[in-house]
Amino acid sequence: MRIEGKHIYLRFLEEKDAEAMKQLYLRNKEFFQQYSPKRDEAYYTYDRHLTSIKNSIESRKIDKEYSFGLFLKETGQLIGDIDLTGILRDVLQSCYIGYSLDCAHNGKGYMTEAVKLVVDYGFKQLHLHRIVAGVMPTNSGSIRVLEKAGFEKEGIARKNVKINGKWQDHVELSILNPEDE
């Protein structure tokens, strides 16, 4: 499955993407580490990314997670990833969104485009009601991406995620399915 945007396209990550994912995370190790949990060297191996992709495929089969690669239309290069995780059904119909983008491609609108495409997929294909994001208050670029995609700030989740060994607050943002209003 491929979701087309203007400058990028998204598709589910496949086993063949493990090496490209490893390279993406190695290239951006210091950049991503600012906003990520502490990771050991095993995180940056081919085997770890292959296992992660396999787990994602299995999670998609049971409607718990949908992981996409973000590719440039012009070259087909993998420049990021974006996920809908923690899917809850029944009376909630909600999930979390998370993403990473190669720092060489920041500020070009690619992630805003990707977020809009994934939100549309989540609402129209998965019939979700609510998609939630948590972002460190210092990550103004990510907050801007979410706001441009229609997310609204709801508040602060205090000491929510352990980043680099320290519990960090996160701005909580969400978007609701307009079909449910």
Query: Please, which pLDDT band fits residue 144 given cuts at 50, 70 and 90?
Result: very high
- Which among 143, 138, 136, 140 is positioned nearest to 174, based on CA atoms? 143
Amino acid 115: pLDDT: 98
**pTM for the model:** 0.93
Task: Give CA–CA dist 155/143, Å, rounded.
Answer: 13
As a whole number, mean pLDDT of residues 22-44 equals 86
Q: Total domain count for the chain?
A: 1
Range of the domain at 82: 2-180
| DSSP conformation class of 60 | H
Residues 113, 128, 60, CA angle at the centre, nearest 5°? Answer: 80
> Tens digit of pLDDT for each residue in 49-86?
999 999 999 999 999 999 999 999 999 999 999 999 99
Q: Any idea what the CATH number is for the domain that residue 166 is in? A: 3.40.630.30
Cα 82 from Cα 10, distance rounded (Å): 9
